[in-house]
């Protein structure tokens, strides 16, 4: 076994020539490359399957024919090394609707526990291997034995939820129909203005911007109307979900969501400073020429917490030679005393968590926007290196669906947690909304240009931690409250000497004859 194949890249390292700042263009190019490789593999497999099938059809009917392998359904997955368990796993970017998984969480329960007919079940009379197999094929994730489990909504009588469900009506089909009609209407308005204006002698350089502005105004108005309707519908569902109390279902994590909701407001926003720095680096490296600079001025988790959908424990399948290689690397890069402490604390706990987030309806006032997770961006419009006009924008996280694997290292000394390593199982599905920091701002995220830039920037930053990449946090220092890195770590000293400056305006009457300019340099 080649040890080099099991070296796992980690996130959170310093930027350098080898570890470059993520760029949206490079991220999109990498996604296109992976898609082409998947398509090529599927095409090669289809050709091989068709070749075997044609060969079998040519054989006489009285002879035994070659076995034709079943055509496997290929998904948009890729195989990577899981830094948590040390096994090769297939990951896929989540495609679930964040609003649906938050509003209608489900749990997979064996039919045996529901009193339904089951194709396979567990029993105390089974041998250890039979019991392990039966439990494995009836537990998520897929594939599971057909007819052995049922997906039960958490908010239902099957899971002993002690509340009365309020009747609700879904207007989603009407919203989709209205959105399709709005697209056709905007296209009709644009071409009507251009064609009719040209017929009456108008110039295209004036008609095209006019048609675009009018069509964009109608499109943004319809999108705002649909958003208000969805927020109203979501608000009623949110009130119903908050009254639910789940009991007698061991796999449920409703108790953890309740605890998370209490602790969410106690979290120090400074803990998200690293996330803000990463997003800022990605956007600065990807902005077009009309934007001089981008800065993350503030970031807040709000009062609306994440929702944990499911948790499950994972086995530790790190092979011996990988541990030996890690031990050799630690001997080179770690203090002997710290290495001895790490070797003694060798117990690990692995788990997988799926989370979702949906923003609460917010209005034009600041207090309603502060309830949701978001950050303040400042775009400096102008020419890079010359001047920039600041444009403050509030970015609100509207939805999130993600699956992460976590590896906790336990220690016998308080606080009993040494390190935490996490990795994302696919690029999270994220949707954010951008509103100018004015009294009544329009959600300009509905325009494709800004929408793509913000969401691609978040996706590019998240890709730094997608398996096989990972990030390790020292929980022992964080929980004890000392040696926490709250600001960017300085790696060196930059010495600047001014040799000559010409054309500087005089700012001081004293000093040299006629006053001096008092020149200085600002480095950011």
pLDDT for the residue numbered 25: 78
Q: Which helix (H) or strand (E) holds 407?
A: strand 387-410
Percent of the chain with pLDDT over 90: 0
- pLDDT single digits (tens) 358-406: 887 776 666 677 788 888 888 887 766 566 778 888 888 888 888 888 8
Tens-digit pLDDT profile for residues 292-334: 788 888 888 888 888 887 777 776 654 333 345 455 556 666 6
Whether 51 shows a pLDDT value over 80: the answer reads: no
**Is pLDDT at 509 greater than 60 in this prediction?**
no
| Stronger pLDDT, 50 or 346, i.e. the higher one | 50
Task: Choose the most confident range, by mean pLDDT, from 65-74, 76-85, 345-354.
Answer: 345-354
Task: List the one residue out of 335, 356, 370 whose CA is nearest residue 401.
Answer: 356
What tokens appear for 217 in the block? 């105004």
Q: Which residue has the higher pLDDT, 463 or 441?
A: 463
**Per-residue model confidence (pLDDT) at position 69:** 45
What is the sign, positive or negative, of the torsion defined by CA atoms of 135, 148, 402, 166? negative
**Is residue 345 a contact partner of residue 418, using CB atoms and an 8 Å limit?**
yes
The CA-to-CA distance between both ends of the chain, in Å, stands at: 47
* Partners of 10 in beta bridges: 470
Q: Which residues on adjacent β-strands are paired with residue 390?
A: 380
For residues 285-291, average pLDDT: 77
What was the pLDDT predicted at 455? 79
For residue range 145-200, list pLDDT tens digits in order: 676 776 666 554 434 333 333 334 567 788 888 888 988 998 899 889 888 888 88
Q: Is the pLDDT of residue 459 over 70?
A: yes
Model pLDDT, residue 391: 80
Q: Could you report the per-residue pLDDT of 212-268, keeping only the tens digit for each?
A: 898 888 888 888 888 888 777 776 555 544 433 332 233 457 778 888 888 888 888
pLDDT interval class at 4 (50, 70, 90): very low
* Domain extent listing, the chain: 1-13+20-76+270-486
496 has pLDDT over 70: yes
Task: Report the distance separating Cα 217 and Cα 219, nearest Å.
Answer: 5
Facing residues of 382 across strands? 388
Residue 279 has pLDDT above 60, yes or no: yes
What are the tokens at 294? 């981008």
Cβ within 8 Å of residue 277, ≥6 positions away: 296, 488
Q: Rounded to an integer, what is the distance from CA 303 to the centroid of its chain?
A: 19
Query: What is the average per-residue pLDDT within 499-513?
Result: 65
Total residues belonging to the chain: 524
**pLDDT for the residue numbered 294:** 83
Q: How many other CB atoms are there within 10 angstroms of residue 479's CB atom? A: 13
- pLDDT above 70: residue 16: no
Indicate the pairing of strand 374-383 with strand 307-314.
unpaired
Q: How confident is the model at residue 506 (pLDDT cuts 50, 70, 90)?
A: low
Q: So what's the pLDDT on residue 308?
A: 83
Give 105's pLDDT tier (boundaries 50, 70, 90). Answer: low
pLDDT of residue 241: 45
């Amino acid at each position: 076994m080649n040890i080099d194949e099991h070296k796992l890249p980690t996130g959170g390292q310093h930027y350098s020539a080898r570890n470059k700042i993520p760029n949206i263009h490079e991220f999109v190019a990498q996604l296109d490359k992976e898609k082409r490789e998947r398509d090529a593999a599927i095409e090669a497999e289809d050709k091989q399957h068709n070749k075997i099938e044609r060969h079998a059809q040519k054989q006489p009917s009285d002879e035994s024919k070659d076995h034709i392998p079943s055509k496997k359904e290929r998904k948009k997955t890729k195989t990577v090394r899981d830094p948590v368990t040390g096994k090769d796993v297939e990951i896929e970017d989540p495609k679930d609707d964040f609003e649906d998984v938050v509003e209608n969480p489900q749990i997979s329960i064996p039919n045996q526990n529901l009193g339904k007919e089951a194709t396979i079940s567990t029993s105390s009379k089974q041998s250890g291997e039979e019991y392990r197999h039966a439990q494995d094929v009836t537990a998520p994730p897929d594939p599971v034995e057909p007819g052995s489990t049922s997906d039960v909504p958490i908010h239902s009588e099957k899971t002993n939820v002690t509340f009365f469900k309020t009747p609700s009506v879904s207007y989603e089909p009407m919203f989709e129909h209205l959105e399709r009609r709005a697209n056709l209407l905007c296209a009709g308005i644009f071409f009507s203005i251009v064609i009719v204006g040209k017929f009456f002698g108008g110039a295209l350089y004036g008609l095209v911007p006019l048609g675009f502005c009018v069509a964009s105004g109608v499109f943004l108005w319809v999108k705002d109307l649909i958003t208000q309707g969805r927020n109203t519908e979501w608000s009623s569902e949110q009130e119903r979900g908050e009254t639910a109390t789940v009991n007698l279902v061991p796999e449920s994590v409703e108790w953890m969501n309740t605890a998370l909701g209490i602790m969410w407001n106690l979290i120090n926003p400074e803990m998200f400073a690293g996330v803000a720095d990463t997003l800022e680096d990605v956007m600065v490296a990807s902005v077009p020429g009309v934007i001089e600079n981008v800065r993350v001025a503030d970031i807040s988790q709000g009062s609306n917490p994440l929702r944990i959908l499911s948790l499950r424990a994972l086995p530790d399948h790190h092979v011996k030679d990988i541990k030996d290689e890690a031990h050799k690397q630690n001997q080179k890069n770690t203090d002997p005393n710290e290495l001895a402490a790490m070797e003694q604390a060798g117990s690990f706990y692995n788990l997988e968590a799926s989370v979702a987030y949906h923003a609460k309806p917010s209005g034009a006032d600041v207090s309603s926007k502060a309830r949701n997770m978001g950050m303040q961006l400042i775009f400096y419009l102008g020419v890079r290196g010359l001047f920039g006009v600041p444009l403050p924008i509030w970015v609100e996280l509207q939805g999130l669906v993600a699956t992460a694997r976590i590896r906790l290292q336990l220690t016998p000394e308080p606080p009993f947690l040494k390190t935490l390593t996490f990795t994302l199982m696919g690029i999270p599905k994220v949707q954010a909304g951008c509103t100018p920091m004015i009294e009544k701002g329009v959600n300009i995220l509905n325009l494709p240009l800004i929408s793509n830039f913000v969401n691609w920037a978040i996706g590019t930053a998240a890709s730094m931690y997608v398996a096989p990449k990972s990030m390790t946090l020292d929980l022992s220092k964080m929980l004890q409250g000392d040696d926490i890195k709250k600001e960017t770590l300085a790696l060196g000293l930059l010495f600047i000497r001014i040799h000559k400056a010409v054309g500087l305006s005089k700012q001081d009457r004293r000093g040299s004859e006629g006053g001096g300019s008092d020149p200085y340099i600002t480095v950011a």
